[in-house]
Structure 1
Amino acid sequence: MDKKIFVLAALTLFTSLSVFAQNCPQGTPSCVSLDQIDYITDPPFKTIYWKKSWGAIASSPDSPVIGTSTGRFSRRSAVKEAIRKCKSKGGKACELSLAYQHQCAVVLRPTKRANPHALKEMESVTVTSVSQNADTIVKALEIAAPSCHKLNKGMICDVLYLDCTKPFLIG
């Protein structure tokens, strides 16, 4: 009988202690289990990440000027800056030609250094500049050069602008 009372007393004692630990008020250090102590003392860490940026190109059909922007955190900001720069250079009807994020962009425009057959046509034909974006400048040029050549009836196209948006380290 003494053995049963001893076992019953031991069970009652240990059961009540675990229940007591669960009812401790929040923030009481004596109630924290040992495996949670490390989590409380570790300071919070800052998250470091790369933020992609935007670029934009604006042009005006009434003049040969372009406005560009790069390294902006929003598309809207990049577009507004490009249009503002285009207007400040004399463009009257500046509008967005290209907006790009985390890429490279090029603008090609035909020049007077054309083949002899195209020189005569150049005076009567309106020239068209070509804007193109891609992962690299080389890829953008590979896509834009044939398009510019074809759109402008064989005229030689020169690079008017090229740049890439760069990511920013935040943190």
Structure 2
Amino acid sequence: MADFKPLSGTAISLALTLAFVVLVVTGNANAEGRCPAGQYPIGDQGVGGCAPIPGAGGAAREPEPAGQWHKTWGAIASSPSTSEAGVATGKATKEDAERVALEGCGMHAARDCRILIAYRNQCAAWVVPQNNGNGARSGVASGQDMKEAIVQAQKICIDPSGAQCKIAYSACSEPVYEAF
């Protein structure tokens, strides 16, 4: 068996001091004292307060959003054999917009309706030739605003007589804001 030697008074004092320091350092150190986390004490005796620690993020947090933007869809459908057409704007999905446009186009018995364009958070324009001679072609385009949509559609449209195509339809499908 090993010999056991009792500790001296100095060794006991040193061991107790070391244990106290370890407890203080590893315990829940709260340098702010009387202030909540992220703040530090200010003022003198009797007149104390707390201020945010710079860079701690306490008072400088970004505000929570008060709502959300929802994208919307629009669509234009047309029947190549008739003059029937259908449109939709402000729909939640592309499928909804196309369905509504096709239903509008087929409302008067057109059986060959097809989607000309589907667009999201944009404007669309459909321009048609003033004269429907040989080689006539309408133009459909979307753009960030109505002016851009019309300009792009005019570039596609062909009027055999050389006249500028006229606007048959134009609309924008804008995002919708939902407040919380």
TM range (shorter): 0.5 to 0.7
Higher strand share: 2
Q: Identity rate of aligned residues, in percent?
A: 24
Q: Distance in 2 between matches of 1:68 and 1:152?
A: 23
Residue 8 (str. 1) matches residue 10 (str. 2) = no
The equivalent residue for 2:33 is none
Which of 127, 133, 137 lines up with 1:108 in the alignment?
127
The equivalent residue for 1:167 is 175
Higher relative contact order (Cα pairs below 8 Å, separated by 6+ residues) = 1
Q: Distance in 1 between matches of 2:18 and 2:96?
A: 70
Q: Distance in 1 between matches of 2:123 and 2:12?
A: 82
Residue 135 (str. 1) matches residue 154 (str. 2) = no
Aligned-pair Cα RMSD in Å: 3.3
Shift of the alpha carbon at 1:2?
4.0
User: How many equivalent pairs are there?
Assistant: 145
- Tell me the SS of whatever aligns to 1:132: strand
Q: 1:59, 1:91 within 8 Å by CA — same for their partners in 2?
A: no
Shift of the alpha carbon at 1:152?
3.0
Higher helix share: 1
TM-score with structure 2 length normalisation? Answer: 0.65
Q: Distance in 1 between matches of 2:66 and 2:22?
A: 43
Shift of the alpha carbon at 1:88?
1.2
The equivalent residue for 1:28 is none
In structure 2, what residue type is equivalent to 1:5? I
In structure 1, what residue type is equivalent to 2:159? N
- Tell me the SS of whatever aligns to 1:81: helix
The equivalent residue for 1:61 is 80
- Tell me the SS of whatever aligns to 1:35: coil
